[in-house]
């Protein structure tokens, strides 16, 4: 549905996007995650046909954004970072205007407006001027204009920027709902957004993709070894140590501290996917150690994001 083959975009001599290849299939919600200036908007503008790549190919539904730009524009709905809303118009008048722009026939207009008003939850504000409605409703109006011609693909540039926490939750829900029937690509610099809305992530830094996959895949890839933090109750520490040494999957004992009342805090680094919590639990039982707590340590997407985008800065 959305494809890029080695695209590059230069503004003058400055390379904003470099050698990006990607493929987004039907029904996916993909988040472009990156710090300010990473190149997210540039990539989105290439897919909308607003900017052309200086190298490579970008395709929407197999249409080239350069040579088939009209067909591309019909296939996509776009919500730019600053939604172009005419604030003197009411929501209804604005949507009528968008129908004009999209050349939706007079006969179909009423039905299409009713559809997007229902989908985006705009019933309460439909006859109010846009400058008199909340930012959350304005963003819903922006989403309504993006779907009025029933596009298969939605391109949303930072769709929750500037909204309050309740509005953010509502807009994310709406995007997820729209994503049930459409392919969605959205940009964000908010990590929680990716976890809350997207099924795939592309982390962008300095115009390049530095990680891709589901949030879980990226975490696994970047995580290296697994770690468990365990609190055990046992009689004697040397007994525990020698029992641990017999577990093949343990790489290293990272922490071994004796607490009061025969409690031991232990942090183990174990080989990826070999020793899961259940086996560790069985090991403790067979050695007569009581496990009081066992916490797997996960690298957060935030840690990975900081690592990847910092590495880029050092180049």
Kindly indicate which of the ranges 40-48, 93-101, 102-110, 263-271 contains the residues binding ligand ATP, using the contact rule CB under 6 A: 40-48
Please select the residue that binds ligand ATP; options are 1, 22, 41, 230, rule is CB under 6 A. 41
Per CB under 6 A, 11 contacts ligand ATP: yes
Give the strands of the sheet with 29-33, arranged side by side: 76-79, 153-157, 183-188, 29-33, 200-205, 208-213
Contact 177, 146 (CB under 8 A): no
Assign 244 to helix, strand or coil.
Answer: helix
User: Which residue number, 4 or 99, has a Cβ lying nearer to ligand ATP?
Assistant: 4
Rule CB under 6 A: is residue 36 a binding residue for ligand ATP?
Answer: yes
The answer for 213, left when phi > 0, alpha when psi is -120 to 50, beta otherwise, is: left
Closer Cβ to ligand ATP, 136 or 207, answer by number: 207
Q: Per CB under 6 A, which of residues 164..193 are in contact with ligand ATP?
A: 189
Instruction: For residue 301, report the phi and psi dihedrals to the nearest 5 degrees.
Output: -60, -30
Whole-angstrom Cα distance, residue 210 to residue 281? 37
37 contributes a contact to ligand ATP by CB under 6 A:
yes
39 touches ligand ATP (CB under 6 A): yes
Consecutive H or E run containing 90: none
- If the CB atoms of residues 39 and 136 are measured against ligand ATP, the closer one turns out to be 39
Q: Among 40, 73, 140, 172, which residue interacts with ligand ATP (rule: CB under 6 A)?
A: 40
How many residues bind ligand ATP (CB under 6 A)? The answer is: 12
Largest CA distance in the chain: 83
Interacting residues with ligand ATP (CB under 6 A): 11, 14, 16, 34, 36-42, 189
């Amino acid at each position: 549905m959305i494809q890029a083959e080695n695209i590059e975009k230069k503004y003058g001599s400055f390379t904003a996007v470099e050698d990006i290849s990607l493929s987004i299939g039907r029904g996916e919600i993909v988040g472009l995650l990156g710090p300010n200036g990473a190149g997210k908007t540039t990539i989105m503008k290439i897919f909308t046909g607003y900017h052309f790549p200086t190298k490579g190919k970008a395709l929407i539904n197999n249409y080239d954004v350069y040579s088939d730009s009209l067909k591309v524009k019909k296939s996509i709905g776009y919500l730019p970072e600053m939604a172009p809303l005419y604030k003197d118009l009411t929501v209804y008048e604005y949507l009528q205007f968008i129908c004009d722009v999209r050349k939706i026939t007079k006969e179909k207009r009423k039905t299409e407006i009713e559809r997007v008003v229902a989908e985006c939850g705009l019933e309460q504000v439909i006859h109010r001027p846009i400058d008199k409605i909340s930012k959350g409703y304005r963003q819903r109006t922006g989403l309504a204009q993006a779907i009025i011609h029933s596009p298969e693909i939605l391109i949303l540039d930072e769709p929750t920027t500037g909204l309050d926490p309740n509005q953010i939750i509502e807009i994310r829900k709406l995007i997820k709902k729209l994503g049930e029937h459409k392919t969605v690509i959205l940009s964000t610099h908010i990590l929680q957004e990716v976890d809350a809305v997207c099924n795939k992530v592309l982390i962008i830094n300095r115009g390049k993709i530095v990680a891709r996959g589901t949030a879980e895949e990226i975490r696994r890839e970047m995580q290296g070894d697994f770690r468990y933090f365990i609190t055990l109750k046992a009689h004697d520490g040397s007994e525990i140590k020698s029992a641990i040494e017999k577990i093949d999957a343990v790489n290293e004992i990272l922490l071994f501290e004796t607490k009061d009342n025969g409690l031991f805090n232990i942090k183990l680094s174990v080989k990826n996917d070999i020793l899961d919590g259940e086996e560790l639990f069985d090991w403790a039982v067979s050695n007569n150690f009581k496990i009081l707590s066992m916490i797997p340590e996960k690298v957060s997407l935030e840690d990975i994001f900081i690592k990847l985008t910092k590495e880029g800065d050092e180049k």
